[in-house]
Amino acid sequence: MAREVDTPILIAGLGNPGREYARNRHNVGFMAIDRIHERYAFAPFKTRFRGEVAEGSLSGRKTFLLKPMTFMNDSGIAVGAFAKFYKLPLNAIIVIHDDLDLVGGKMRVKTGGGDGGHNGLRSITSALGAGYRRLRIGIGHPGTKERVYGYVLGDFTRADEDWLTPLLAAISEALPKLAADDDAGFMNKVTVLLAPPKPAAPGPLHPKDD
């Protein structure tokens, strides 16, 4: 994918506004945006396009962070309005969202495709088309379709924090590669950052004293 250095990039994290939703599995996109905002020198969030927007730079490219405040099912209102105002091509839009089809702690980047039953993606696709990039953060599946609604609107558990906190930190650390359109390099760096440390090599053996 060719990089268009003069084209800004939009990174939109999906979630629901309000304190009661803040730790929900469905809000992991908001959590990722907040972690990125903390990691880099972005301006404070401002209310624009029915969302919270912060401006900064990654890999020498103007970068916007967006948290739609329209509630998940209408995410396309904010993302679509922003993208159309700045005349962004679809490959300059990255949407961070929860994914039931990936186990907790796994992450993938893809371009285009279906919405997989995700209402936020469905709304964005309706507004813009399907060719935008997606950063999928796995949250696992509760096992049956009937349990999905309560599961995604349930909070991450303490056990989840063991993989969630390192994953969000690794995504943030590797993000400049994604902003430079190096999706494979981004995924590789996240993998390296999350790899368990290798055990120290054993020291030299010393003969026992007689």
Q: Give the pLDDT confidence score for residue 95 in this predicted structure.
A: 98
Residue 1 included in any domain:
no
Residue 206 included in any domain:
no
The domain of 88 spans 9-193
Residue 200 included in any domain:
no
Q: Give the pLDDT confidence score for residue 6 in this predicted structure.
A: 77
Number of domains in the chain: 1
Alpha carbon 116 to its chain's center: 16
pLDDT in tens, 58-99: 999 999 999 999 999 999 999 999 999 999 999 999 999 999
Residue 2 included in any domain:
no
Residue 176 included in any domain:
yes
Q: What is the pTM of this model?
A: 0.91
Which residue positions in the chain have pLDDT lower than 70? 1-5, 200-210
Residue 131 included in any domain:
yes
Instruction: Confirm if 99 and 114 have CB atoms less than 8 A apart.
Output: no
Give the 3-state secondary structure of residue 147: helix
Nearest by Cα to 174 from 187, 159, 165, 164: 187
Residue 17 included in any domain:
yes
Q: Give the pLDDT confidence score for residue 96 in this predicted structure.
A: 98
Q: Give the pLDDT confidence score for residue 4 in this predicted structure.
A: 54
CATH value at residue 60: 3.40.50.1470
Residue 43 included in any domain:
yes
Q: Beta strand 46-48 with 51-58: parallel, antiparallel or unpaired?
A: antiparallel
Active-site residue numbers?
26
Q: Beta strand 107-111 with 9-13: parallel, antiparallel or unpaired?
A: unpaired
